[in-house]
Each structure stands twice: as structure tokens, then as C-alpha cells.
Amino acid sequence: MRFSRTPLLVKALILITMVLPLALPLNFVLIQPGEGSPLFPKVLQVKQSPLPTYKVNGQLYLLSIYVTNPDAKVLGYQVLQCWAVAECVVMPRSVMYQEDTDTKAEIKKGKEEMKKSQSAALTAAQNLFASRYPTIKLNEVSDSSLQVSLKNTGGPSGGLIFALGITDLFTPEDLAQGRKIAASGTISATGKIGPIGGIAEKIIAAKKAGATLLFASQENCDELPTHVSGITVVAVSRLSDAVTYLQKPVEVQGAKAHSSSSRPVIGCTNLGA
């Protein structure tokens, strides 16, 4: 009796067709929530300042996300694994990176952007102090007086949290009021807060860090969920908006800040909400 080998060949072909793509590199990047790095006492430090500083009563967190490098080979099975995880996002490589870039260039670019964001944060804080705390001459503090120690992190999205950290350090006013506060947004020298990528992942990172309050840019409102649980999200357009919110008594915000129930994002439709 003779048996045709065609069915076996067909099965092998089907198997190869299904399995082979899982082992092939695909033109995607994977994005996942990073971590919240506490600014004090190690990340943001003041060296040889002409002005006194004050201990922050609470903690401020710089947020990050994990993105595969442009040189990384993202295989098919990794894409499937990412799709199966709620906190992982798959995006075309072209959305995140230019075609001619590589990992070395992106690391250099990220470091340059972070350095610029730190300088802009100081200038924005100086402008804020000139109007709100005129007796504190923050313009006497230079970039060289501030030291940021943070490895393997780059980009401009730390501008807002750096500015808030500088503000709380140099004013005797208790802005943090014992809270764990996160923020993610670019900042200009005039104090304007710009949007960042991966805002949904940044919310997850803030919650994992234990933050109860997160500031984001109003320009990210179209990417923010309408309701968030476990953390209060406030969208702002300027540094002064965030400082004004922090100046409110914690008792006014307390019930919302610690509630696990879902609540609307503040600032996307009504900043005074």
C-alpha cells in the first residue's frame, strides 16, 4: 500500500508559514511603562547655590517609558507577546524614529534634549519667581548650580517636573505638602507646557511609583483617558497653573487624591474643575 506524501508536505508548509514569521524581525518598536525616579535627594541636587534651599515635604517623580532601540530586532513572537499585555504598545518604527538614525544617535539626542529641558526649566522657574516670589532672586542661580544625576534616561519630557522641583526647593512655601507628585511635559523658557509621547504609559508609571497626583500637558488631552482611577490627573498649559494647583490646601484635594474610584481628568475641559 502506498501513501501520498502530499498531506505531510502541506502540513509542513502550513507549519512553516505560521511559525517562521514569529522568528523574523519586524519593523516595529515596543513601548512599555517605565518607572518613576524620585528627584530628591539624589536626582536633582543644588551645588554651591547663592540662595538657601528648603527641604521638600514630599516627593516629586520624573517619569519614563521603555522603548526598544532603533537597532533592536523586534521579532514576531515579541510583537504577539506585547499585544497580549495590556501595558505594552506596538508602534511602527517610523513613528518613533527617523529612517537614518541608530541607537547611538538617539542616545546622544536624548541627552541633549534633557540638558536643554533642564536649562529651560530653570529659566521658566526664574520667570515664575519674578512675579510670584519677587524677594527670592532666583536669577542668581545658574545652570551650573544644579546637578541632575540620572542614567539611561533622555528626552525633553522632564521639563515640567524639573521646574516644579526647582520651585519647591527654592521657596519656603510647602508646595508638595507631603504628597507624591509626578509630572510629564516639555517646558519652554516662558513656562509653556508642551505635549509628550507615551502619556498613557506615563500614567501607569506614576501609579506604580505611588504618586497620587500627576500633571500633564493640556496638549495631550486628546490622548488622555476621560477618567482615571487611583491617581488625580491634572492637565495644565503653563508652569504657573501647576503651582497654583499645588498651593491649594491638601484637605480640599484629599478625598479625590486617595480614592480608587474612577474620576475625570482635570483641565481638559475645565481647568477649574
Query: Could you give the percent of the chain with pLDDT greater than 70?
Result: 86
Query: Looking up cell 544617535, which residue turns up?
Result: 105
- d(C-alpha 28, C-alpha 248), whole Å: 44
- Whether residue 10 lies inside any domain: the answer is no
Cell of 230: 487611583
CATH code, 222: 3.30.230
**What pLDDT was estimated at residue 26?**
78
Q: Establish if 98 belongs to a structural domain.
A: no
pLDDT on residue 10 = 61
Question: Is 187 contained in some domain?
Answer: yes
Residue 187 and residue 240 in contact, taking contact as beta carbons nearer than 8 Å? no
Specify whether the CB–CB gap between 231 and 214 falls below 8 A: yes
Give me the pLDDT at residue 27, please: 86
Average pLDDT over residues 133-144: 95
Count CB-CB contacts under 10 A for residue 71: 12
Q: What is the structure's pLDDT at 45?
A: 93
> For residue 146, what pLDDT is reported?
93
Contact 182, 213 (CB under 8 A): yes
Q: What is the pLDDT of residues 181-209, one digit of tens each?
A: 999 999 999 999 999 989 999 999 999 99
Averaged pLDDT score across all residues of the chain: 87
As a 3-state breakdown, the chain gives helix, strand, coil percent values, each rounded to 5, of: 40, 25, 35
Domain membership of residue 13 (yes or no) is: no
Range of the domain at 200: 34-65+106-264
Task: Report the amino acid identity of residue 60.
Answer: L
For residue range 253-269, what is the model confidence (pLDDT) as tens digits?
544 444 557 889 999 97
In a domain, 270, yes or no: no
Q: What is the mean pLDDT of residues 122-145?
A: 96
Rounded alpha-carbon distances, angstroms, from residue 238 to 52, 100, 137, 196, 219? 26, 35, 21, 14, 11
Q: How high is the pLDDT of residue 271?
A: 41
Q: How many domains does the chain have?
A: 1
Summarised one tens digit per residue, pLDDT across range 11-33 is 556 555 555 556 677 788 999 99
Helix axes 239-246, 103-132, angle to 10 degrees: 60
3-12, 171-180, 186-195, 229-238 — which is least confidently predicted?
A: 3-12
Q: Please say if the pLDDT value at position 59 is more than 70.
A: yes
In a domain, residue 89? The reply is no
**233 near 266, Cβ under 8 Å?**
yes
Q: What is the pLDDT of residue 142?
A: 94
pTM (two decimals): 0.85
Evaluate whether 266 touches 242 at the Cβ level (below 8 Å): no
Name the one residue in this structure whose C-alpha cell is 504657573: 240
> Does 120 reside within a domain?
yes
Position 181 in a domain? yes
